Structure 1
Amino acid sequence: MIKRIRLKNWKSHLSSEFLFSQGVNALIGIMGSGKSSVMQGISFVLFGTFPELQTRKVRLDDLIMRKPQQKETAEIEIEFVLYGKTYYAKRVIEKGKGTTHAEVREEGRLIDVNPKNVTEIIERITGIDYDLFSKAVYSEQNALDYFLRIPKGQRMEHIDRMLKLDRFELARSRCVFLANKIDTEITDRLKVISDLEKEGLEKKTEEYRKEIEEIEENISLLENKKKEIWKEKEKIQSLIKDIEEKEKNRNQLKLELQGLVSGIKQIESSLEKKKQSLKDYENIGKEIETVSEDIKRLEEEIKAIENTLQKLRDKNASVRTQINAIVDETKRIDSLGTKCPVCESEITPEKKKKLLLERSGKKQALEKELETATKIIQEKEKHKQDIDEKLKAKILKRERLLSLKKDIDFVSELEERKEKYLKRIDEIEKNIKELEMFLSEEKTKKAKQEFEEVIRKETEIKEKLFSLLEREKDKKSVFQDLNQRFERLKEYKREVKTKENASKKLKIFEKVLKITQNRLREEFLKKINEIMRAVWTKLYPYADFSEVRLEIDKDYVLQLKGKEGWVSVDGTASGGERSMACLALRIAFSLAFLPKLKWLILDEPTHNLDDNAIQQFVQALRENLGGLIEQVFLITHDERVSEGIQGSLYRLERNKDENEPTQVISS
């Protein structure tokens, strides 16, 4: 049950709030007072749209109040109770932006704020979507006869969508399409199968398989022979390689032998020359030792002379120093006056002369000593020079003797080398003899002939193998193609069998869907007609038509039962009869499609009704309709309808000349 709706800046409603109750609720007012806007608001807040918006007769911006003052936003709130729980929904639209806010709450708890999600949640809560709401609940202004406005031939499609039977029709049409498609594919496959069977694929495939097996067997035999020949070739190659290595070794030994013989000749020539020149120097070692001792003695003697010379030179230097000192003293004495510069005693000429004579005597003695020492130095230097000459001669002799000793050592070395060469020559001659026993021209020739024969056999087998492999390749290519075609043939047969089963099942399923669809329609018609039968006498005030029903005659037809039988409402009934029949159908739709929701919105339902029919309709509202439908919303300009209102009644007033907003007056 819808408890409350509030409109803010919604079309002509500045701020309008409506509280509704069970039974029949009505909005009464003149044209343009904003009655239909309320019902449009209910549809919009629940599903985000309403018929005129859905068909683009109006835009979202057209729903925001323009007069007396342009508003930027419009809001709608609704509160309803369902299955014992209270729900609240709200939507806000902004100029140029569309729906900018939406929310849905359950018992005050926020569930979602996304506009699309809000719609889906309300659909889940109420059990209906907008399409069903607009057909079974909401009858827009002067559209009570919506069903009759649907062109004949399309009514079943519309009602099937309401019943969700369009899914059955879609499934059934798809079944038919798939079955026909499969049957066509089966026909095409059977033609291909027939063509393939004419080719004798199974027999040809078997023949090629046997030929390939025979070729593979021959290939296997040749491969084994090839392995045997390869082993034989490897053995001969090893023998030839051994012969070649031994020949190479023999040749290297011969070259080495020639080198050794030549080397011995050179050694013998050198030995002969060296021995001839060294025959007088058998005790050269002792002689070198004696000369070395002489050199040592002479070096020691020279060293002693040099020490003596150094001492004499040092002494001469001291004597010269003394002589120079005496000369200096003589000069000072000679230059003295009458007094001593040290003690200031008087110096007489006799004393000065005496002092000079003393100094002259000392000087002469020192000069004589210097002369004697100089002569000794000269003698020592001459003696040292003589010894140096002897030392040089001895050193030269020792060097010559050492050189001769090296020659003697070299002779020994040559003799040792000759001995080694002779020993190596014996070894080489022995090895050459052994190699020549193994090597023979006949043996080498035989090995090469055997190798050539093996190569010939190997080439022959390779050629045969290549030929067989090419044949195998060609045969396998043909076999593969034949086998693929044969497997394809078997697959096609399996496919045909599978598709025949599928086609059969699809056709059975299509029939089941058709039967189910028809039965559901029958059940729907039965229920609709039971409801219309119950409400017709309470709605229709005359006796000329006793019943109303919905019948299938290729398409849905709304019929009235007169004295002469059933007649179609289309083209037969008057405007009032047509409206009453459609009202009965609307009530039946609401109860049949929404047995738990039981809402009905009627916008100007008395259009085309005469006074008597209106009175009957008012009586039905007052006495019967409230018992059938839990909540009815009635939009009308006819004040007479107010007599049948038992729920909330609102009168809507508006001064359109002054562009005033809608005024809501509760009665």
Structure 2
Amino acid sequence: MTGFPLLYEIDLTNFRSIRGRVQTPLDAKMVLVHGENGAGKTSLLTAIEIALTGRAIALQRADPAYAKQLIYRHADTYRHADTGNIALTTTGLIGSNQFSASFNAEGITERSVLSPSLAAFFSERCYLPQSMLGQLLQIYQESDSSPNSPLARFVTELLGLDRLDAIETGLAPVDDLRNLRKTSRLFAPTESEKQRLERSLADYQSSRALAQRDFTAALAAVNEAWAALELDGKVDEKSLPTLDYPRDTKSDEDELSTLFVHRRNLEFIRRSLSSDSDNAAAAAEASLVAEHRGAGEALAKWTSEYQARITDLEKRVAELLPDISTSAASVVSWHVEASGRLAEDLRQTRERVAKMSADTNRRAALMSELDVERKNLKTIDDEIGLIGSNADRLAEILSNINAVIVDDYCPVCDRNFAETRQGALVDHVHRKVSRLSGSAERLLGLSRNRSAQQELIESLVREQAEIDARFGAAGQLSTLARREAELETVVSELASLAEPIAAYARISAQEVGARRAISNLQSQSSSRTTALEQLGEIASALSLDTPGQLQASDGMLVNLEPEVAARIERVTHRSNSRRKLVDSEKQAKLLLDRKNELDQRVARETSLVAQKVASLRRATKIRTDAQTIRERVESVRAAIIRREFNDRLNRLWRDLFVRLAPNEPFVPAFQIPTHSTNQLKPRLITRHRSGGAGGTPGAMLSSGNLNTAALTLFLALHLTVAPQLPWLVLDDPIQSMDDVHIAHFAALLRTLSKEHHRQIVVAVHDRQLFEYLRLELSPAFADDSLLTVELSRSGSRDTHLFSKRYHHQEETALIHAA
């Protein structure tokens, strides 16, 4: 990711149309938000504005009491949320990068926002709400030459010309030096006191300069002796009073005594080696030493070329695998272990990302399925209630009665059923039993269906609980996605180092072989063996490499003799420097105390002089400033208007509009008077590309091109000033645009992101448009990034948010084909 400030992550709870808590990353150069109408796109972008600025200007224009409507409200009053909050994280800003807002039904209760200037810049130049786009179109349609027209008021507020009018009015009374003296009766006494203080200050400054010169010389002597003693750091004015170092010279005297003993021993070894006549062994030993040196130089070259990369890579691997062994023991073993474990970790991470994505989708589907199945269970319960609970028992009784019927006389009431003229009594009872038995069977079937439905609901609830248990903390999916990207990068880097590490193994083997050959050769000569042992003892005492493994004894002797001589000279110099340091320290501390005392006096006198000078400057500049400002207010106003509109805004607006609408012959622009004026009277016009004048934009442009004109005007206003915040947040900017305009708009977004280093957040509601922009804005280079955010609602009206990150994928098919 680049080093410019980024919107990094936002966490919302019960904000406007968003129910519950949603969290999404925003750390990509291009963020594409999609959702159907009412899903929460505008709420997400409005939350960004409130977190950064503490207010929502578009909502405030529509309803001054909008803050009381920020909390999520449900159709059922009892399901209203009590509190809500917004937490936004950014990166790269100076100061705080954490912004938040808490709110309830009474309004915003707590907030942590940008500074007023940055907040105003974001609202005016970075965020284009959907409702604001409509207001710009209204400005085009209702514009006229009146200074009170909607367009004139908008531009006046934009350029801050009302401030120039206020300055001219406020400074009108202050136009005469006599008025200045009347308002400040202490002007003359202040001038006299200033002269006296300046003379006193000059005396103190002269004395202070002399003290500073002497102290600088003394401190230089301290640092010279300090450096000679090879002590850490450098002595400065701050560390001088508490300077701590060994002042005793006894250790130097003991070290000199030891060095003199080493020098006598080296002279004895040289005499003993000069009698050895085995020149062939010495030549062979020198050849092996040269071979060993060559292998060591190859290792050093390899280390200078690859060690930094391996060290950096080892840190990144350690962050991913804290328990892995370091490369100090064996680079080859470390590389093999890291490659294998990271490849396995990458595979497991990919599986977890896929699993969590599937769980997220299944969790949303389960909520909808549970709503449906619970409604089915209620329908079964209602139908069971309609069937009598005693139908089965009555059918059994009638069946027993039917066995004793022999004619049409009822065995219960002893009446003649033939009188009813409904057929035989046996047939009547049989039909009644059949109907009652059918109701009982229906009741039994509904009971079985209810049990099956209940088991299905319990199964869905268990599955939901299992998914919730696996789901983990909020934002874990984003964290895993980032880890997956880091693992892919590190695994690729490890693979690129495979061949250099193999070369390292070969060079190391050559170096070890030469070292062993030298050791074998030297062990065959008793005199040289004895000399090497003595040289090794001396080298060890001097904290140097022992000669038995790395070089010939003659060469080692040549190296040790000048080393001992140099150390004798160095210790002698150090002892003298230590004595010099003690003396210089005492002198420097005395001079420092004197300088500090003069510094306090100079500071006191300087402060008094500055107070008098500031008073006089304020008094003398009031008249000049008032006259100059009054004379130049009108010319400055005209210069601002011409520069902003003609030289910058109109030119940039034209370039952007022509890019999005290449086939439109008329181009919108501001018409500004050429003469000076005390009132701003701009007009919106169109000009033909050939140079001719046109009518107003509302008369000359189509609905789609009016939308394009409004959108490009906002972008031009954003680009005409230095980017205090390099962000562009656009809420459904593509309205009434055809396919050509949309294609050019996508190309413009890529240009703003790539060449102008803007982070762009765009929200759209059309699914086909979302898919098209997702393809057009996909990363084309290694430092490009795209993040898609999709908002939806479940059957229970809970808000669900799904984010997906797209990285640049290098094309390998054409490389292999070539």
TM-score band, normalised by shorter chain: 0.3 to 0.5
Q: TM-score, normalised by structure 1?
A: 0.43
Greater radius of gyration (CA): 1
Q: TM-score, normalised by structure 2?
A: 0.35
